Chains A and B, each alone.
Chain A
């Protein structure tokens, strides 16, 4: 299988994703420039974190209009896998590939720290290697990560088990103290109806080696690899 990592002007976790997939997991992986129009050789495309177009106007608001996004919509509609991390999640919401929006953190500060994520649905291509109720230690780094959607949409996400990760304590309790940004329902990651597009604020590519404090992020990549 082949992974592709999209690079917009201002993207920075492209290199970390490349490292986690290429160097740690020995996968076939390419960078994709934002002007690319042909994604046919990829099985999974990653929208990495960073500040695409400086996050000017609103995070993701400019990137969603870039050339590569038209092909990405097409790519997703054919059932291919897309994962948006941090800024990538924001772009997916802006483009309508995922519902809802990511607002400023409730404390109005940038926040970089380790968080614990409870895996809420293990029957997805992104989490199939996780145990039921498993808690992953994966860090966040964002200013606009407070997930918001209206009540109807939240109910739909809950009912369809499309909330994949929630911020939790290290033992898996979901409460306000474990919520680093005020996300509704402690949401850290969701997927689309079809189950082939995942968006998450935490950075699994940073949790790729015990030396760096955790290798829990790899389980997401391993799930994808096992499913293709």
Chain B
């Protein structure tokens, strides 16, 4: 059968890859076989351009129980017989086409990844990127995405405890929607996604199968949009009510010994869930597509196998237990059908009644070609990095007040309250620190422990310097957790990049990962799961390289958690870290882009110092020395001080603190490894001693008190002014 270029384009395989399939199979593939290869060899499922690089990320620690790629999500042990299950995933392309359903089904998909392992989802987070809100289309995308996350997540009864939102031109028409879910389980109840045990039955549970989402994995997520095309039919439609029933039913099932495994249906639907669980189980599978309940008439076997209809689970039922399992699903009014069985021959058999539609060895489907390339640093990067700070005038003292207000009101820095108050962040009775702090904190019922969760990734840094951007993404996430009093435990990462077949993009991907590897090693934090979203381009232009680091940490005693806002009048405020950062720390800052329209200049980080700073801060919190800790990030020291004031409406007055170098760098520069802490005066000596032991500078900045933010000689603003800018900045741009 001669194969047309159009057919291959439809499933995003190259002619070379097609030849490889023919060679390995020893024959031309049938239509269904080709569709299955297209899906499983796509970047989305097969990671063919990224696998070699992802392997570099450290994934071991004493607590790691399930590493990346082994199961639907990674698992870490937190003691007391409990484990955390965590994963982040992108739903960028669907959200670009249909923002509400794209984002909603992104939430649905990541939640299934967690409960399919027998873990109860206890937290959601989202990392979002959009183009500037001055463009009406971006406002439409923003409204749709936030609405979709709220609409789906709120219905499930899982608290959505925040995340991040960032705006830049490169995300116009290509928003990023990364959804993270964290679950908790008793270690003994963990369910594996393995189809094993010859004769065990494959049961499809939940929604009927329709034509929605065909080619989601291959067509949408694995190529760029060069032309305007009607792609809405490739986006799935979510039913959160059905998902909620699946959560409760599957968690009940996880406590029985009736099943051998469980796997949700996500990208590439039945094809990937059946084939991947067969690969993990070491056997084969046999499916009769006629037994799959359909939503519409006339669906072909190809469509049934590749449909991405949502809210479906594949349960591997131990032979003899099918009636019990069915009764359990009946009670929850969920449809369940036996559609096939586990075989021992290592082959994926797809039948339509008696007719064989596909017969492919499982290991061929799950072994796509792996691409690795040597690439050089693009010339344009040198130009971005070679930024001379003396080429712009320093900020005049007179303009500091107005500049601070402008920064506070800019959508990247302003409070995201108008978004997170649309998400139920309290259901579950665990949320101790609400969204809006450096990291959210959830207690673990039945223990003294709590966990802390954050997502981070400054893509502007990565654009200017992919390696350092990768380092900083990990370091900053860890710093945020430390500020809440948590020891970082594990990472789930979502790598959002352009087309990896282009040298420049491949270079960004490689360097970003290398940077993350370096920071993970230095800070000893393993990566336990993740996702890659490539081909984020519109009309040939790639997004910023955007690695999103989701990180979870453990607080041994919830009574010793810490918040980012000042707590008491009269507390002394110190800066841990360098109080007179180098002038070049203005490079790649929010200030430089907002005030001067320049996106240039290397960020900088000293990982050794970062590590000492984090240890020092964590020890100070554990010893009860400090009342608040807030990391200096976008907007620098001045913005961080303002944020610490606003959380509890407590002012700040500076001590004798003078800027030595450039004013813009000192106040708004984004030098890393700096934390603002407040202490009761009698603990100040102890804090200084502790900092000295870690060789960390502890500079007295001033005192908490009053209703103004005063940095003598530089800033003098009422909290009302500061608050108006920060609380309503984002809302006003909508």
Contact = CB atoms under 8 A, between A and B. Distances in A.
A206 interface: yes
A12 B156 contact: yes
Contacts of A212: 426, 429-432
Interface stretch (B265-273, B416-424, B573-581, B681-689): B416-424
A55 B157 contact: no
Interface stretch (B238-246, B313-321, B384-392, B714-722): B238-246
Interface size bucket, A side?
Answer: 20 to 34
B445 interface: yes
B157 A13 contact: yes
A51 B425 contact: no
A208 interface: yes
Contact of B241 (A9, A19, A23, A203): A9
B155 interface: yes
B510 interface: no
Interface string A129-142: 00000000001010
B332 interface: yes
A209 B428 CA distance: 13
Contacts of A56: 241
A111 B241 contact: no
Nearest to B446: A23
B501 interface: no
A54 B240 contact: yes
B151 to A, nearest CB: 8
A53 B244 CA distance: 10
Interface string A24-57: 0000000000000000000000000011011110
Contacts of B245: 9-10
Nearest to B151: A110
Contacts of B445: 19, 23
A111 B429 contact: no
Contact of B426 (A9, A55, A139): A139
B427 A141 contact: yes
A151 interface: no
A133 to B, nearest CB: 25
Contacts, number: 81
A202 to B, nearest CB: 11
Contacts of A12: 156-157, 244, 427
A143 B425 CA distance: 14
Choose among B239, B242, B434 the residue with the greatest number of A CB atoms under 10 Å from its CB.
Answer: B434
A112 B244 contact: no
A110 B426 contact: no
Nearest to B156: A12
A212 B434 CA distance: 9
Contacts of B429: 15-16, 19-20, 205-206, 208-209, 212
A141 B558 contact: no
B215 interface: no
Task: Name the prevailing secondary structure of the A interface residues.
Answer: mixed
Given A16-B429, A141-B427, A212-B432, A51 B150 contact: no
A38 B298 CA distance: 47
A106 interface: no
Interface in B538-588: 558
A59 B428 CA distance: 21
B240 A113 contact: no
Given A12-B157, A211-B558, A109 B431 contact: no
A205 B428 CA distance: 10
B183 to A, nearest CB: 15
Contacts of A109: 421-422
Contacts of A9: 241, 244-245, 332-333
A162 to B, nearest CB: 28
25 contacts: A9-B241, A9-B332, A10-B155, A12-B156, A12-B427, A15-B428, A19-B445, A20-B429, A50-B157, A51-B240, A54-B155, A54-B241, A54-B244, A109-B422, A111-B422, A112-B421, A112-B425, A113-B421, A141-B154, A141-B424, A211-B432, A211-B558, A212-B431, A212-B432, A213-B434
Given A109-B422, A110-B151, 17 more contacts: A9-B332, A10-B241, A10-B245, A13-B157, A15-B429, A20-B429, A51-B154, A53-B241, A54-B240, A109-B421, A110-B422, A112-B423, A112-B426, A141-B154, A141-B426, A205-B429, A206-B427
Interface of B: 150-151, 154-157, 239-242, 244-245, 332-333, 421-432, 434, 443, 445, 558
